[in-house]
Structure 1
């Protein structure tokens, strides 16, 4: 269990890069607009939510958590009138294929290392619990891609959404709504920069400032917008709970195989980042 606990804490840097890079790739918007969606945020909301079916804006806002529900409602359910969830899922995989090919190269994607990583990551997902994890469950119902690099991406997506659903539960138990969670997360210096967070999640300066004021009243933020000792303790407690709720896949995989998967995915993630997978002005240096 020791290795399982450790790997959950470094999930983002090692594994999540290989999933989240698709949100910044031009290939994603190109494929989804070709399927019928409108450019911009509609592609993100519909692309990520499609495995749950043609759900309403409330479901999307609840499962994505830190987005302004008013923003979500601008694009959902209209997206489903432009393209079916099945077509969107198909287009999403087309985009993943094109993106990974550009960033990593076909030789890497066809390598024995990627085949091995895909098999190990898929094995890890067998340790994921479905109960109470809505966004994970939607993705878990999808068929597995036959190509190893797409199977690897799908497996990491499952692990990511499984962890994310657990993170939302930890936030709820610790009294942070979506906006407060976002404000305190940016204050850690390890996530989105505030300007990027407000823009991408659809919160106005007034809404952001209001949440920050409430957090200051609770003693979680200081006058400069940084975390107080109590705020730091709260975020650490949330991360610890998130990690604890996400150990299932790694306990199932076992220490030796978990270590091997980390060894295989680390270089892939670094290569993708070095190839320009993420814009420089989105994340804080602590990411």
Structure 2
């Protein structure tokens, strides 16, 4: 663990981000959602339509995107217009809920006072990031 407070915060944040990411991958695999499919569902979740225009996948070959969309349609996750079905929205909700659940153990290791201190220390940083346009 780095000794410098800024380096220590950066290192810790990276470890938590990686932990959460690993849990998200596990949740996606458990739901049989592949990488490009995950980007399509994320695009729909934030209101991007058509989802194939999403910046993370728009550069892929049209045939690959069409095959991904066809697969999501066959599974009942998107409709003929490429929008969420109820099943697709529920699948996305379940993946995100499991991701959140799998991300909690590091925070549960903290005492309530330590968690309150962590939140208090990070709130000003969060406020500055949000004010600068971060989501």
Tell me the TM-score range normalised by the shorter chain. 0.7 to 0.9
Other structure's SS at 2:54 match: helix
2: distance between equivalents of 1:238 and 1:244? 10
Contact 2:31 2:91 in 1 (8 A): yes
Q: C-alpha displacement at 1:190, in angstroms? A: 7.4
TM-score by length of 2: 0.84
Show the 5 A alignment for 1:3-82: none
Of 116, 126, 130, which residue of structure 2 is paired with 1:259?
A: 116
Per chain length, whose mean CA-contact separation is higher, i.e. which structure has more relative contact order (CA < 8 Å, sep 6+)? Answer: 1
Deviations 1:123-161 (A, max 9, x none): xxxxxxxxxxxxxxxxxxxxx222211210110100010
Q: C-alpha displacement at 1:262, in angstroms? A: 2.2
2: distance between equivalents of 1:178 and 1:159? 21
Contact 1:198 1:205 in 2 (8 A): no
Report the counterpart of residue 245 of structure 1 in structure 2: 102
Q: C-alpha displacement at 1:225, in angstroms? A: 2.3
Q: Which runs of 5+ in 2 are unaligned?
A: none
Q: Which runs of 5+ in 1 are unaligned?
A: 1-143, 279-286
2: distance between equivalents of 1:246 and 1:272? 22
Q: C-alpha displacement at 1:178, in angstroms? A: 0.9
Show the 5 A alignment for 1:54-203: 144-189=1-46, 194-198=53-57, 203=60
Report the counterpart of residue 72 of structure 2 in structure 1: 215
CA-atom RMSD in angstroms: 2.2
TM-score by length of 1: 0.42
Residue 205 (str. 1) matches residue 62 (str. 2): yes
